[in-house]
Structure 1
Amino acid sequence: MSSPAITSAAIIGSTGLVGSNILSTLLATEAYKPVHAITRRALKATSPNLNAIVDTDTSKWAAALAALAPVPLTVFSALGTTRAAAGGLANQWKIDHDLNIELAKAAKEGGVKTFVFISSAGTRGFPSNFAAYSKMKNGVEDSVKELGFDQAVIIKPGIILGERETSRTTEGMAQMLVRGLGKLSQGVQDTLGQDAAVIARAAVRAAQLADEGKAPSKYWVVEAGDIVRLGRTEWPAEPAATTETTSQ
């Protein structure tokens, strides 16, 4: 039996909570070689399979993505910030909305087949769809769909569970609530929030299925249930550690 073809991938937003987990998952699975990461700051991850492109000028990122050769089969975007970190809503919009769309366009024009965008749950319902955050996420989702990738995957997690480098008070309180409910019912926790590592694995597995032509649709929206299924339930278990024993 011939070995499956190994193809390259690129990730933007690899220093955030979900993005860093996507990067570590990509490097661990070795499904994509090499893995290109376009980032504003140096990465903690190291691997001979990692090509880190560090540039603090985000206006150059689209060109850097388009210049990758050979063209990555898949691009993951976990790019996002907060209003406080960006210095206001207008600056947040430039990153979360405008830059994501610019990168998606560069990926499409460069010949990328599959585009994976980490969005958020609950952005389409009333009245949340009127919120600025929802408008940013929905705008990127709509643009990715309109660009007509061979495969587009939209990951829509709930509360993202995990420890960030910089704490967010409101999110921290939400995490405590979700984890508290999880002690009563894992199903409730899985509906409301998912661990960053599970979200990342779900994104990688969904991309692999899309690349193999096994996605349920050309534009695949992956919500809580599928995130848990792809990233935890069906994710291959880590090999059990073996110990050596000696006869006595």
Structure 2
Amino acid sequence: MATSTPALPHPRRRLRCSVAPVSVTDHADFLTLLALTTSGGHLPAEAGAVLTLPPQGPLNTHGPALCLTAQPRRGTNQSPIGALFASFPDWAATHPLAQANPYLTEILSRRALLVYGLAVAPQHRRQGIARALLAETEQRARAVGYRMITLIHTPDLAPFYQRLGYISAHNVTIAMPGPAMGLTQPLPYMTAVKPLVPSVRVRHLPGAPGPVVSALLPGWGLSAEARFEAGRLIT
């Protein structure tokens, strides 16, 4: 999922903020901010319950999720002004290839991170808050071995994410040793992907419906001659 912050050409002056895991006292504000999120999917139904759980992994702050808030460093109001909710990608479990091979779900859930919700309070948009939340998320994910971050957004936000190093498209393909995994969003929504390590690449191949992610794991790379033929990835 993606922030409702518009990608406008003239940002306001940056607001210095602190990004940290959401605290118990900020649960209500966190969920209120996330309700501002607009995307092609939806927040996990259990998002509120997740906030009561201890972390289940080195990246996670609450249960299976990474829940972060942004707060201004100065001023008397220290309520969150930005919120981010990320976890393993739903498509890692629901895609037909993953359902046919549960081990694939385990692999993908430890190497790809999906931002389900990213939102900023309306009065603080275009001040670098969403950028700060994403930067902290990427740093945390990279530190524990994640290799790619992804999110869903509306077309108007594509320039914003592109400035942060993301590549957006309606169709994204993940290369694998066997059949490739295609991720297609219903119009008008788009998937944005960003490698977190140099070995992961996002390529544009002849005949491909959109960008192709290679080397998400060793053995999932592509040759220089890779291409698409009749809708299939030829490596």
The two structures have a TM-score, normalised by structure 1, of 0.29
The two structures have a TM-score, normalised by structure 2, of 0.31
Q: Answer 1 or 2: which has greater helix percent.
A: 1
Q: Answer 1 or 2: which has greater strand percent.
A: 2
